[in-house]
Amino acid sequence: MAQSMFRTGVLVRATHTVLTWVITLILFLHDTDLRKCEERGELLLPALFFLVVVLSVLLYFAVSLMDPGFVLTDTVKGSNEEMESMIPQASTPRLRRCGYCLLQQPMRAKHCQTCKRCVRRFDHHCPWIENCVGERNHRWFIVYLLVQLLALLWALHIALSGVSPSVTWELWFRVNGFLLAALGVVGVFSVVVVLLLCCHLYLVSINCTTWEFMSRHRISYLKNCGDEENPFDRGVFCNLWDFFCICRTVVWEQVYHRNTPNPV
């Protein structure tokens, strides 16, 4: 199973990388604004575009290969005594024991069926990167989406600049075929990235994960809260500041107890 998952991850990442560089090559070789800048000896814009593409690929691999926050046996055991001394256990939901890997899950953690591991502050398993999005790589996932969106929108503009008119439709498709294919792929991915980015920024602004948003009624620490109640929400500014600027492991049991009037 692990070997199968590894092969799947390699295939997905290789496909993403090859597709990225094929489209980039098409944009550089056709009569686009990039090609015209090269011919005039103006290399600043082509170099900047190339660097944005390289940065997007590097971030893609960083997020896809990064530990999303897997729950480790020694980490959980070592923190139990300290956690119990800080949090009134009578008023806070007890730590759940995972039925698959038999580890005690911290609050907001979930077992990923694909990765076969429990992930802290689990958001979702992303087939695009073949990795979970969790506490350790969530902010980098959003940074990657921002850079990827910049690269896609710029590529869309460049591809449109290279579409040339022809006498007949048949000749037009023949001349612009590769650019039209690149436009289609870039357009679809642009829509997907915009939707993903908007959804994640909204959820981050209210300190909620995709899993919590979609499965609220099945989560023990949320199902008894009101429909509009989120015990982890500290306000938009504080939520964004904590998410992007504070790099630490959060004891969510403490936050839950502090912000819930009648915890269950």
Q: Which residues are part of the catalytic machinery?
A: 126
Whole-Å CA distances, 116 to 2, 7, 64: 9, 16, 16
What radius of gyration do the chain's Cα atoms show? Answer: 23
Sign for the CA dihedral angle at 227, 233, 234, 240 comes to negative
The residue whose two tokens read 């759940």 is 96
Give the C-alpha separation, 247 to 106, whole Å: 18
- Smallest CA-to-CA distance from 133 within 145, 146, 143, 120 is with 120
- Smallest CA-to-CA distance from 137 within 33, 223, 247 is with 247
Close Cβ partners of 11 (under 8 Å, ≥ 6 residues apart):
none
Contact between 190 and 152 (Cβ < 8 Å)? yes
The amino acid present at 215, given as its one-letter code, is S
